[in-house]
Structure 1
Amino acid sequence: MKKITLYSFLMLLVFFSCKEEEEKKAQLLTMGQLTISKEQPSPGDEIELIYNSKDEVEAFYAYMVDDKNYPLDIDFSEKDGEQKGSIKIPDSAVALAFIIKADDKFDDNNKKGYLLPLYTKDGKQIKGSNAATSYYALGNGSDYGIKMDEKVAFEAIKTDMTAHPELQSDWNNSYLQMAFRNNKEEGKKLIDAYATSMEKKNDVSEKEYTSMMQFYNMTGEQTKYDSIKNVALEKFPNGNTANYEMVELFQKETDLEKKADIFKNYADANSKLGNIGNYMAGTLTRTYYQQKDMDNFEKYVSMIDDKSSRASTYNNLAWPMAESGENLDQAAKMSKTSLDLITSLEKNPEDKPDYYTKRQYEKSLKSSYNMYADTYALILFKQGKVKEAITYQEKAQDPKAQDPAMNARYIEYLMADKQYAKAADKAENLIKLGNGNTKIKEAYKTAYLKEHPSAKDADQKLAAFDEEAYKKQVAEIKKTMLDEEAPTFTLKDTKGKDVSLEALKGKTVILDFWATWCGPCIASFPGMQEVVTKYKDDDKVVLLFVDTFERDKNREKMVVDFIKENDYDFHVVYDNEIEGSNNFEVAEKYDISGIPTKVIIGPDGRMKFKSVGYNGSNEKLVKEMDIMIDILKP
């Protein structure tokens, strides 16, 4: 009898244990490679995360509060082929977005991302959570491969605003701006209704006045805009509207003393300068330096209260002197100060901006330090302090060594110090990585022959390094290959002719998105001219230079003059500005958030590659274009 009872008890334990395990599994939420320990998490919950990958990952999550979002790091650790971590959801959150980078590539979960609404403790979805995830996907998603149609996003936001009118005050700006972009007539009705509601209020805040100014600016109602601005200036003489008015006056003013007076008025009214004040202080700093007025230079540079901005100002002034070899003592002082400022921020990172996670901020500071150390090393080298230059250049070197110009300076300093063995070893590694250039190859050969005077195989070794680099580059580029729809378009070129993407099907088409004001675009153009020249007789390759984000009223003349003055043989087309929006037609279709961006479309008419930014090496750029074109050959 005792045996039967014990057996039954054990069976009950097994039964309840299995049932508990089943219930636990039922509560899990799996999206793509991410599993979350709770299907309907709530603000304040601690949740476990499992990401299915053996590779090391970088991850953060953004928690959303209305139309704003705040990123926080996720600490994952690998166990049994999975990455495991946990987070505590902030009490104010209404939704979450998990951003995960594995094998140096963002996991976009088939373009949907990892977006999660939150729930109340009784299982009801939090009001506005769909609006928050849609708005995040639309505004931030393209940075991480997430696709979100603007109309779909607007409908989600509209549904939440209609169902929960009490949310509208927090969403007002974003909602009404999107409504106007989505449908000007309906959007204008909503804006007018909002304006009427403001007229009935006795205690309109400056934020509400600012909203009205933004709306009237968007709808082109200048008289109403001016009227609201005057009221805001009168009611809030030391408010944001007054500050923006001051910066506009500052920008228009040509008399330097009057500019300084405007800045003084701003500084007297604001205990912290903020972005506007630091911009004005920085402008005065640079202008007085150019006029060699060092007393005023020192006065205004010391007033820049954001240490990152002050460090950047010092470095931007020191770099041209470093390149030219002029005023090196002054340059060294400025450059060392920029490094000291960044070091102080690294030691005390409590002033981290809201848009960074802690790790992102640390990485940003490290990147700035590397850049400024590169400047300081060049100054030291030109002062004849070669060993010190090497010390700082080694601090400047990025672990991935992706900047060939910076790499070349490092090898140059080693050669000057007659460290031939080290120079040859470092140069070999850089060339094999594909991060070398002509200077580094020449230095390798010289250093190798210094170490091996009777050697006859230097050229063969270089050829072998180049071959290894080429194979690595091909493999890396293939990893980035896409197979996505290439949205069609028809744009006017500089001669007024229509250029249609549809008509180019069967060819490899390279779209280079650029603008005349874009420094990195311009820096990449000598390399792109090489590509144009190389393929000018190949009727299977077409390059189109899409001028976008260009709003100058003399845009067409400016573009034509720029191309002519620089003697570029580019086929330029003009992207169309979307009426009532800050966006441009083709840039929006291709999710272009920054330039330069190159989109490579295969002969099948589908998008195959998307390359953002410029790596600083035209040699490397030409090689990458060659590889992409070669991969797409039928």
Structure 2
Amino acid sequence: MKKITLYSLLMLLALFSCKKESEKIAQPLTMGQLTLSNGQPMPGDDLDIIYDSDREVEAFYLYLVGDKNYPVDIDFSEIDGEQHASIKVPDSAVAMAFLIKVDDQFDHNDKKGYFLPLYNENSEKMKGGNSAIAFYALRQGSDYGIKMDTKAAFETIHAEVSAHPELQSDWNSSYLQMAYRNDKVEGKKLIDAYAETFKSRSDIPEKEYSALMETYSLTGDRSKFDSIKKVALEKFPKGNTANYELVDQFQQERDLNKKAEIFKTFADANPKLGSIGNYMAGALAGTYYQQKDMVNFEKYISQIDDNSRRASTMNNLAWPLAESGESLDQAEKMSKTSLDLITSLQKNQEDKPDYFSKKQYQRYLESQYRMYADTYALILFKQGKTKEAIAYQEKAIDAKASDADVNQRYIDYLMADNQYEKVKEKAEHFMKLGHATKDIKEAYKTAYLKKDPSATDVDAKIAAFDEEAYKTQVAEIKKTMLDEEAPSFSLKDMDGKEVSLEALKGKTVILDFWATWCGPCIASFPGMQEVVTKYKDDDSVALLFIDTFERGPTREKMVEDFIKSNKYTFHVVYDPIIEGSNDFEVASKYDITGIPTKVIIGPDGRMKFKSVGYSGSIERLVTEMDIMIDILKS
């Protein structure tokens, strides 16, 4: 990749040479492939950006405020093989992070990321800027390939909070929890010292009580947690603590009328329901719907004041009816309402949540629409409205046709409408992408022979499409290849035997992080069973299914019952909870933030691949595992 051109640097300098003499001339800053017109910008400044790439780039920046972050799109334009953009630094920011994706891969700048502290009018770093960067890199950096050492992050925050005590109220929850995780003895001293300050202060805001409660929840000190909560409830009877208390009561209550009374108490105190109130309204609506009490269903569904949440609730109720074919008229009404709600949000995006950039929110709404269109199409199909079902199922397919089940339904509807030529066209497309099921291939064969009954080359064509898809997948997977240290571990399996990673060195090791409550994990297991069966006699391959993010005294029995009832032949091991923490040992070591996640370790003992989520296609999952294993064997 070429370097930033001299012309570009001169242009950047020229942009700032026209400032008044009394102003400091900005000095450009280059990090990796990113160059900024000013290496010490202040909040409110304009900032020009050049990214050294002539390839397709998608980017956004995050402005960091304490332990919070807010995304904003960067609109690049290519000039002379470089990407150029201009942004305005938000007034409330103390630091910034730039996230840049090139050809579907985030540029992590050699795992350091692209971070920029901001400065004040005295050319001093903004207070809290270093902490904001360290915290973001630690908590969310791994999603973009950025590495941050836990101890280093804590020491950065500790140094800033110690130097600037006024930052403490903004950082207490995150800071105290990090302190405890870093060193339980010293962390406990910090927590207790902070709690002592409450005795001499009269103007403590509720967020500080909440921070202390969260910390005592982490340490397991229930008596102190209850004591702080009692004071917070007395001081802030309509605050967040009181709201969370109502949610706890709502979840524990079994009497439906009493649940409705709890929700009324909450709604009376909170005219805008927010996520908590909308959750309760949705739960009530769902329960009344199951009881066929349509009056109360309509009452509570209409109280959900977040249209995205209301649409989701409607779809969640309509989908099982679509699958079973029951109450289709009611299902159609709910499903169509969910689509109309999303359409209204697409037209008017004023209520965009601040955790989305504009483009991210737009894509989110598009994905929701596709999901709900899939539901609506299935309902229409079961009502005998095949052509309408086809029209909506087309809308349910994303640009990459990545959901094989959605593709399958589309082909089913086309077959039912005898559109054989279109079946051939679309099935071929899905097969070439590697997003076709066995049934799609059978439909292609049927449609092909309908058009040419004497054809003898259909199986060869399908094989050629599969080969093309395989080559495409190999190329895509090779792009994601890693070469990172695989942290060691030793865990107990369902028989109580110790299983260590060290003992498996020399093998290709597949770690599948999962939990019994994880729907996508469970959906992927038939495919993973195929992988286990395929490689059970291959001594060079080992699979471990690491049960994580799972708690409770009956955890092991629950896991064993699940594995046995489904007749899986998995080698399951248990990831232990870190003492005095809500974190899990191996999941933390491998930066696992969501499940299912598969980590593939090569014979050299180093991590080579990391795959998050489940595509919905068993065939694609098995093929991906085969490709990764083959690459490491070769």
TM-score (norm 2): 0.95
| Structure 1 position 208, deviation (Å) | 2.3
Matches within 5 A, 1:339-350: 339-350=339-350
User: Who is 2:6 aligned against?
Assistant: none
Q: 1:216 to 1:416 in 2, by over 3 A?
A: same
Cα distance in 2 for residues equivalent to 1:215 and 1:134: 20
User: Who is 2:239 aligned against?
Assistant: 239
User: Who is 2:509 aligned against?
Assistant: 509
Matches within 5 A, 1:496-535: 496-535=496-535
Instruction: Tell me the SS of whatever aligns to 1:73.
Output: strand
| Structure 1 position 209, deviation (Å) | 2.1
Check conservation: 1:130, 1:157, Cα contact below 8 A.
Answer: yes
User: Who is 1:195 aligned against?
Assistant: 195
Residue 254 (structure 2) pairs with residue 254 (structure 1): yes
User: Who is 2:479 aligned against?
Assistant: 479
| Structure 1 position 529, deviation (Å) | 0.5
Whose Rg is larger?
Answer: 1
Match for 1:275: what amino acid? Answer: S
Deviates more, 1:274-283 or 1:162-171: 162-171
User: Who is 2:20 aligned against?
Assistant: none
Residue 389 (structure 2) pairs with residue 389 (structure 1): yes
Cα distance in 1 for residues equivalent to 2:373 and 2:156: 48
| Structure 1 position 23, deviation (Å) | 9.8
Matches within 5 A, 1:109-124: 109-124=109-124
Matches within 5 A, 1:408-447: 408-447=408-447
Deviates more, 1:147-156 or 1:178-187: 178-187
| Structure 1 position 578, deviation (Å) | 1.2
User: Who is 1:449 aligned against?
Assistant: 449
Residues 94-131 of structure 1 deviation map (CA, whole Å, 9 limit, x = unaligned): 10000011100111111110011111233222222111
Match for 2:498: what amino acid? Answer: D
Cα distance in 1 for residues equivalent to 2:592 and 2:210: 29
| Structure 1 position 470, deviation (Å) | 1.1
Cα distance in 2 for residues equivalent to 1:21 and 1:282: 57
Match for 1:80: what amino acid? Answer: D
| Structure 1 position 288, deviation (Å) | 1.1
| Structure 1 position 21, deviation (Å) | 6.8
Cα distance in 1 for residues equivalent to 2:12 and 2:255: 79
User: Who is 2:5 aligned against?
Assistant: none
Deviates more, 1:289-298 or 1:20-29: 20-29
Match for 1:139: what amino acid? Answer: R
Q: 1:250 to 1:576 in 2, by over 3 A?
A: same
User: Who is 1:336 aligned against?
Assistant: 336
| Structure 1 position 206, deviation (Å) | 2.2
Instruction: Tell me the SS of whatever aligns to 2:633.
Output: coil
Cα distance in 1 for residues equivalent to 2:14 and 2:203: 57
| Structure 1 position 315, deviation (Å) | 0.5
Cα distance in 2 for residues equivalent to 1:26 and 1:303: 53
Cα distance in 1 for residues equivalent to 2:595 and 2:118: 35
Cα distance in 1 for residues equivalent to 2:13 and 2:395: 54
| Structure 1 position 18, deviation (Å) | 12
Q: 1:510 to 1:408 in 2, by over 3 A?
A: same
Deviates more, 1:447-456 or 1:518-527: 447-456
Check conservation: 2:61, 2:96, Cα contact below 8 A.
Answer: yes
Check conservation: 1:594, 1:612, Cα contact below 8 A.
Answer: yes
Over the aligned positions, Cα root-mean-square deviation in angstroms equals 1.7
User: Who is 2:21 aligned against?
Assistant: none
Match for 2:567: what amino acid? Answer: D
Cα distance in 1 for residues equivalent to 2:305 and 2:297: 15
Residues 304-327 of structure 1 deviation map (CA, whole Å, 9 limit, x = unaligned): 111111101110111111111111
Structure 2 gap segments, 5+ residues each: 1-9, 18-24
Match for 2:392: what amino acid? Answer: Y
User: Who is 1:468 aligned against?
Assistant: 468
| Structure 1 position 273, deviation (Å) | 1.1
Matches within 5 A, 1:104-253: 104-253=104-253
Match for 1:328: what amino acid? Answer: L
User: Who is 1:609 aligned against?
Assistant: 609
Cα distance in 1 for residues equivalent to 2:202 and 2:327: 60
Match for 1:36: what amino acid? Answer: L
Instruction: Tell me the SS of whatever aligns to 1:186.
Output: helix
Match for 1:180: what amino acid? Answer: Y
Check conservation: 2:405, 2:616, Cα contact below 8 A.
Answer: yes
User: Who is 1:8 aligned against?
Assistant: none
Check conservation: 2:157, 2:175, Cα contact below 8 A.
Answer: yes
Q: 1:469 to 1:162 in 2, by over 3 A?
A: same
| Structure 1 position 211, deviation (Å) | 2.1
| Structure 1 position 26, deviation (Å) | 8.9
Q: 1:61 to 1:459 in 2, by over 3 A?
A: same
Instruction: Tell me the SS of whatever aligns to 1:351.
Output: coil
Match for 2:231: what amino acid? Answer: V
Residue 379 (structure 2) pairs with residue 366 (structure 1): no
Residues 323-350 of structure 1 deviation map (CA, whole Å, 9 limit, x = unaligned): 1111111110010000001011111111
Cα distance in 2 for residues equivalent to 1:224 and 1:494: 37
Q: 1:460 to 1:136 in 2, by over 3 A?
A: same
Q: 1:126 to 1:234 in 2, by over 3 A?
A: closer
Instruction: Tell me the SS of whatever aligns to 2:300.
Output: helix
User: Who is 1:89 aligned against?
Assistant: 89
User: Who is 1:51 aligned against?
Assistant: 51
Match for 1:311: what amino acid? Answer: A
Matches within 5 A, 1:238-317: 238-317=238-317
Q: 1:463 to 1:263 in 2, by over 3 A?
A: same
| Structure 1 position 431, deviation (Å) | 0.3
- The list of structure 1 runs, each at least 4 consecutive aligned residues, that deviate by more than 3 angstroms after superposition, is 17-26
Match for 1:343: what amino acid? Answer: T
Residues 237-292 of structure 1 deviation map (CA, whole Å, 9 limit, x = unaligned): 22211111111111111111111111111111111111111111111111111111
Instruction: Tell me the SS of whatever aligns to 2:203.
Output: coil
Instruction: Tell me the SS of whatever aligns to 2:583.
Output: coil
Q: 1:73 to 1:26 in 2, by over 3 A?
A: closer
| Structure 1 position 368, deviation (Å) | 0.2
Deviates more, 1:224-233 or 1:398-407: 224-233
User: Who is 2:625 aligned against?
Assistant: 625
Cα distance in 2 for residues equivalent to 1:493 and 1:143: 29
Match for 2:518: what amino acid? Answer: C
User: Who is 1:61 aligned against?
Assistant: 61
Q: 1:77 to 1:21 in 2, by over 3 A?
A: closer
Q: 1:159 to 1:601 in 2, by over 3 A?
A: same
Cα distance in 2 for residues equivalent to 1:601 and 1:101: 25
Check conservation: 1:56, 1:78, Cα contact below 8 A.
Answer: no
Cα distance in 1 for residues equivalent to 2:122 and 2:210: 38
| Structure 1 position 19, deviation (Å) | 13
Check conservation: 1:576, 1:585, Cα contact below 8 A.
Answer: yes
Residues 506-545 of structure 1 deviation map (CA, whole Å, 9 limit, x = unaligned): 0000000000100000000011011111111111100000
Count of aligned positions:
618
Instruction: Tell me the SS of whatever aligns to 2:516.
Output: coil
| Structure 1 position 553, deviation (Å) | 2.1
Cα distance in 2 for residues equivalent to 1:430 and 1:143: 29
| Structure 1 position 56, deviation (Å) | 1.3
Instruction: Tell me the SS of whatever aligns to 1:303.
Output: coil
User: Who is 1:550 aligned against?
Assistant: 550
Cα distance in 2 for residues equivalent to 1:412 and 1:215: 54
Match for 1:228: what amino acid? Answer: I
Residue 595 (structure 2) pairs with residue 563 (structure 1): no
Check conservation: 1:43, 1:118, Cα contact below 8 A.
Answer: yes
Check conservation: 1:508, 1:602, Cα contact below 8 A.
Answer: yes
| Structure 1 position 229, deviation (Å) | 1.6
Cα distance in 2 for residues equivalent to 1:444 and 1:252: 52
Cα distance in 1 for residues equivalent to 2:322 and 2:430: 24
Check conservation: 2:26, 2:37, Cα contact below 8 A.
Answer: no
| Structure 1 position 212, deviation (Å) | 2.3
Match for 2:613: what amino acid? Answer: G
Cα distance in 2 for residues equivalent to 1:229 and 1:166: 24
Residues 363-420 of structure 1 deviation map (CA, whole Å, 9 limit, x = unaligned): 0000000000011011111111111111111111101000011001111111222221
Deviates more, 1:165-174 or 1:341-350: 165-174
Cα distance in 1 for residues equivalent to 2:16 and 2:386: 68
| Structure 1 position 423, deviation (Å) | 1.3
Match for 2:97: what amino acid? Answer: A
